[in-house]
Structure 1
């Protein structure tokens, strides 16, 4: 998974562990922001598509799994089929530093 500069034009998604029908979603790249970390992906519009990040940290590595699904408030809603360049901040227990980042794909 490549590292790319943070792109302010991407749509920001907020981690939502309550998404319905979660399924694994491909992480395309990641971006460092100081000691923070963002993952980049393609998704539907935030009105109808939500994400949940599962992060595994060790002192030496960070591994992220991205799950996509429907926000509970959007179940049954009519949604447009539109691809969105999305990003989501990864909550880390310790600063990212120089740790390598990998994705469960």
Structure 2
């Protein structure tokens, strides 16, 4: 992997982290419970419960992705970065740009 490749991946990771942080904060805000004494109506309360569940799942996914990106950023300068942890082949640059936190090649990820 060339230094230009590492720079492109670093930029991608940083951009994605900047995009995820406000999204995580927004999801944290919308997943806060509504107090029982807030009058929002029975059906609206049920909709709110469903929406909170959906948003909690999205929050978990976004937080996990952010953690993976943070870890990938710390490993970027390692000589093993971009090598499949399963089979040892090089992970294609296109995959690393799409999913910088990936430590598996497409074949092994399937």
Task: Name the larger-Rg structure.
Answer: 2
Structure having the higher strand fraction is: 1
Give the TM-score, by structure 2 length.
Answer: 0.23
Structure having the higher helix fraction is: 2
Give the TM-score, by structure 1 length.
Answer: 0.24
